[in-house]
Structure 1
Amino acid sequence: MTYWPDLLLGVIEGVTEFLPISSTGHLLLAEQWLGARSDTYNIVIQAGAILAVTLIYWKRIVGLLTGWNDPENRDYLLKLTVAFLITAVLGLVVKRLGFELPTTVQPVAWALVLGGVWMIVAEWLAGKQEDRAVILWRVAIAVGVAQIIAGIFPGTSRSGATIFAAMLLGTSNRAAATEFAFLVGIPTMYAASGYELFKQIGSGGVNEDWTALGVAFVVSTVTAFISVKWLLGFIQSHRFTAFAIYRLVFGGVLLGLAAMGLVV
């Protein structure tokens, strides 16, 4: 048995999960040609990307958790907690309403295109502000809400939505906005992945080729680690404009493929 499709899916998940280009759009397109994967499979390879970001921020996380006596640390941790709780509560509401994510390419493609336009405008607006690295309370609240918006509209990109929510509402420094967005994303994505995996196990739906899944998980972890490390260095001296242009091009290609009936 060949595991190259699992290797490829692991690379796609790892590279795209935390870059503001939408992992959903890329995986949806890949699965059109490689075959659809189970919910359990997608949850596990996403967990690999989350693990990579956890490792990158491990010292920062430990410092926050053990530095409760430091007022600055305590304030930052409280804001992370509030952002996470907002996402958790709103996420449960969305689940209760029975909202289903689209499984076709076209709505994801439109979200990619509109998100690309939004990123260009937001970057321009954020650039007119004074450079500020502090996380305000309105930023914490907005990041929590942005995570849900990204979940409701696949193709939006969780990282893109949260980073630009932070930048527009007061944390204009790209590095500070990105760090807060990623740190909020770690418990959020662990919780969401754990919840979905628990549901799969509870319904008796776990029937996987564990070797294939292990390959995809390891590759996702390694590629996510590399891509996030690269991103954190890149944004020190570059804007997000290149990602916005990529979204416009990729979204346009998907819309073209959908119009020709090559993807659905």
Structure 2
Amino acid sequence: MNFFQAFILALIEGLTEFLPVSSTGHMIIGSSVMGIQSDPFVKLFTICIQLGAILSIVVLYFKRFFKSVNFYFKLIVAFIPAAIFGFLLSDKIDQMLESPLTVGISLVIGGVILLFVDKWYKNATIETEEDINYVTALKIGFFQCLAMIPGVSRSGATIVGGMSQNLTRKAAAEFSFFLAVPTMFAATAKKLLDFYQEGHAITPDQMQVLAFGNVVAFIVALLAIKSFIGYLNKNGFKIFGWYRIIVGGVIIVLLLSGHSLSII
């Protein structure tokens, strides 16, 4: 992987990590278009640059992370389901990451849901994370587990999960952002551990590429988050639903017509 390819993937990650469109699915598509060959470092890169995007949350919401101890307990409770299922289903998740058809189908199904979610959950009563109790946090955590299926979208699953528990769109989106911090820290740590346990080592050149990708993802995500929250408050999810359906439909049509999509 060269710096240009790293820049494009990091740009995709920064733009899509917090949108309900699946950053992993889009990086898979981007890797395929650029002809990036699958190897252990490429797989490591696509996980670890998500950490760069996630750190933008800590910067943008810095004061919220030091508001109360209960805030952290709620995040831990919401994180537990993903930690358990991620550990138990690690091999199965890796297999699904190699299936472009899974990505296409997930994008379409998620898109259809987003077309109607604003109508389904329009009587929200919870406006801040302070009003979220531990049971609600746990339920949102189970929704996050759906994002282990490539193409589902972690942010999309948790935002819909939050709205199903009477959170406003803004509150659901922000709690989804906060929950991403422990989730992606854990995912990055596990991927690094697996990488080294398999006998691999990051070369100095690869370290530069990885650092560069994280910086790009961080900067782009800073800009994307505020834009997304503003748009979401005014317009809802419908445009993201149609976008997912179109992209997922194109992937499915290409596969059924005999085109191959190389997967990272």
- Tell me the TM-score normalised to structure 1 length: 0.87
Does 2:121 correspond to 1:117?
no
Unaligned runs of 5+ in 1: 69-73
Name the CA shift for 1:213/1:77 in 2 (closer, same or farther; >3 Å): closer
Which residue number corresponds to residue 162 of structure 2?
166
1:48 pairs with one of 41, 49, 52: 52
Distance in 1 separating the partners of 2:237 and 2:116: 11
Does 2:236 correspond to 1:235?
no
Distance in 2 separating the partners of 1:8 and 1:79: 35
The 10-residue stretch of structure 1 (192-201 or 210-219) with the greater mean CA deviation from structure 2: 210-219
Determine helix, strand or coil for the equivalent of 1:123. Answer: helix
Name the CA shift for 1:262/1:198 in 2 (closer, same or farther; >3 Å): same
Cα deviation for residue 96 of structure 1 reads 7.8
Cα deviation for residue 115 of structure 1 reads 0.4
Distance in 2 separating the partners of 1:250 and 1:27: 13
Which residue number corresponds to residue 71 of structure 1?
none
1:16-27 to 2 correspondences below 5 Å? 16-27=16-27
Which residue number corresponds to residue 102 of structure 1?
97
Distance in 2 separating the partners of 1:9 and 1:114: 24
Q: Is the 8 A contact 1:40 1:200 kept in 2?
A: yes
Distance in 1 separating the partners of 2:90 and 2:208: 31
Name the CA shift for 1:36/1:220 in 2 (closer, same or farther; >3 Å): farther
Query: Residue by residue, what CA displacement relative to the aligned partner does 1:195-254 show, whole Å, maximum 9, x if unpaired?
Result: 111221232223442333232221111111111121122222221111111111111111
Name the CA shift for 1:7/1:102 in 2 (closer, same or farther; >3 Å): closer
Does 2:190 correspond to 1:195?
yes
1:1-264 to 2 correspondences below 5 Å? 3-34=3-34, 35-36=36-37, 38-64=42-68, 68=69, 74=70, 76-95=71-90, 100-127=95-122, 129-133=123-127, 134-151=131-148, 153-171=149-167, 173-208=168-203, 209-264=206-261
Q: CA RMSD in A?
A: 2.1
Name the CA shift for 1:48/1:99 in 2 (closer, same or farther; >3 Å): closer
Matched residue type, 1:155 = G
Q: Is the 8 A contact 2:117 2:237 kept in 1?
A: no
- Tell me the TM-score normalised to structure 2 length: 0.87
Cα deviation for residue 192 of structure 1 reads 1.3
Distance in 2 separating the partners of 1:204 and 1:121: 47
Determine helix, strand or coil for the equivalent of 2:260. Answer: coil
Determine helix, strand or coil for the equivalent of 1:143. Answer: helix
Sequence identity of aligned pairs in percent?
32
Name the CA shift for 1:223/1:36 in 2 (closer, same or farther; >3 Å): farther
Unaligned runs of 5+ in 2: none
Determine helix, strand or coil for the equivalent of 1:206. Answer: coil
Distance in 2 separating the partners of 1:241 and 1:120: 5
Distance in 1 separating the partners of 2:91 and 2:2: 40
